[in-house]
Chain A
Amino acid sequence: MLPTTFEFRWDAGHMIFFGVFYAVVIAIFTSLVYVAVKSIIDVYRDMTARNEANASEHPEHPHEATNEAVIAKS
């Protein structure tokens, strides 16, 4: 599976077969990494937007307003 394995030989069969196999594996993992990174960015963007919305609703005392909301809810 890896060139470090003792039976491995750099012949055409190995290069074609493993070349295609690793290309597929790389395509899968690249896509997964893309999804993971994009999802984290989306969550972060959502959090920022929510914080900004809260801040614009209560521009003078945002922390106090948040605390009041929590107390009122509880």
Chain B
Amino acid sequence: MTSEHTTPKLERCSRQKFLVWLSVWGLLLAWGLYGAFLCLFKGLNQTGMNNYFVFGLWITVDLAIIALGAGAFFSGFLFYILKVDHLKDLIGAAVVIGFICYSGAIGMLTIDIGQPLRGYFSFWHANVHSMLTEVIFCITCYLFVLTIEFTPLILENKRLSEFPLFKYIGENLHGIMAVFALVGTFLSFFHQGSLGGMFGVLFARPFAYRTGVAIWPWTFFLFILSAIASGPALTTLVVWTTQKVTGKQLVRRSTLSKLAKLSATLFFVYLILKAADTVYWANVTAPQMGFAFTRFYQGPYGMELLFLELFVFGLLPAVLLLIPKAREHDFSLVIGCLFICMGIVLNRFVMTVQTLSIPVLPFEKFVAYAPTWQEWAVAAAVLGYGVIVYSLSYRYLHLFPREHELNA
């Protein structure tokens, strides 16, 4: 983030071109809003959720984008607390991406709870023994923190900073951003963990249940690690895509490579722990509960999902991005980061949907989950919303402090 008063003029495409670009994503958003309207007006019978699947596509997407949005808190922590200076090139973009992910997730949750007017119940009648209470408290607070982190970027806009009060608010917020970065790290650490813990404590769902330390199952720690590994991968991917779409160099190439290396290193550590967790669960935890490991993988959710998660979208991108020469090539950089993101999406899908598809009572059968178009529309709307917010931010704000220098 730049704090200088004289920010260079941004060179952007014509307004007409920009409006065409926005309208494409606006249509996607409108389709999603129509789906959301139907869900709110007619009820959750518009979705594929039922007595088997109380969680579906929306929770999968929620968990995935919350994990992928971790790039904001992790980059903030590295930049403001550990003083990793090269992240200055893209800390603004990371904040915007995080803001989009969290606001999108909360927007989707608003539809998912069916009765948004009762959304305050989770705050007012808080069940302190529920991992979800911690999640809802933390993601709400963290979205507020992200909004605060986003504000100086907005106030740096040339027209807004002409007002002295806005200019000083932006500068002073920027001055104590380390406090917000620290608070954001604290909140993110716990809600990412609690999202994993929520599955790990499900004693009646042996596919998800894990042992652990004190009140925290192993999934608590695996979710934190997977989030901080995949967040920088999404940031790298988005910044690279922005460069390709705009035809400009926005950050130094070495910054993207370093971020990808960081992501790959953390992802590799995550995979080792995930593999250890899977082996222990398959050989000890599940058999103790009377389940054979192979019984968990049936129908459309076969063993290939585990293979894809651990190897194709796990080991492969991690090893690829750990090779210095591979990181220097755009193709392998993008494939690596994309596969890491896909691995996390798949992990969240497996934990959400496959957990619920496995029969746990004698009269139950193995069932598959099929989302309706309304669910897809709402999920797509988050993408449309994200692209619109990001595009507006890129057009009107100084997301990349080195942009002018790199394109001079």
Contacts and interface: CB of A to CB of B under 8 A. Distances in A.
B144 interface: yes
How many chain B residues sit at the interface, stated as a range, is: 20 to 34
A10 B134 CA distance: 18
Interface stretch (B120-128, B237-245, B284-292, B383-391): B120-128
A28 B144 contact: yes
A14 B128 contact: yes
B183 A35 contact: no
Nearest to A42: B168
Q: Is the interface of B mostly helix, strand, loop or mixed?
A: helix
Q: Is the interface of A mostly helix, strand, loop or mixed?
A: helix
B168 A31 contact: no
Interface in A1-34: 1-2, 5, 7, 13-14, 17-18, 21, 24-25, 27-28, 31-32, 34
A1 B183 contact: no
Contacts of B129: 13
B372 interface: no
Interface in B141-164: 141, 144-145, 148, 164
A34 B186 CA distance: 21
Contacts of B134: 17
Nearest to A47: B164
A5 B180 CA distance: 30
A14 B125 CA distance: 12
Interface of B: 123-126, 128-129, 133-134, 137, 141, 144-145, 148, 164-165, 168-169, 172-173, 176, 179-180, 183, 186-187
18 contacts: A1-B125, A1-B126, A2-B124, A5-B125, A13-B129, A14-B128, A21-B137, A24-B183, A24-B187, A28-B148, A34-B176, A35-B173, A36-B169, A38-B172, A39-B169, A42-B168, A43-B164, A43-B168
Interface of A: 1-2, 5, 7, 13-14, 17-18, 21, 24-25, 27-28, 31-32, 34-36, 38-40, 42-43, 46
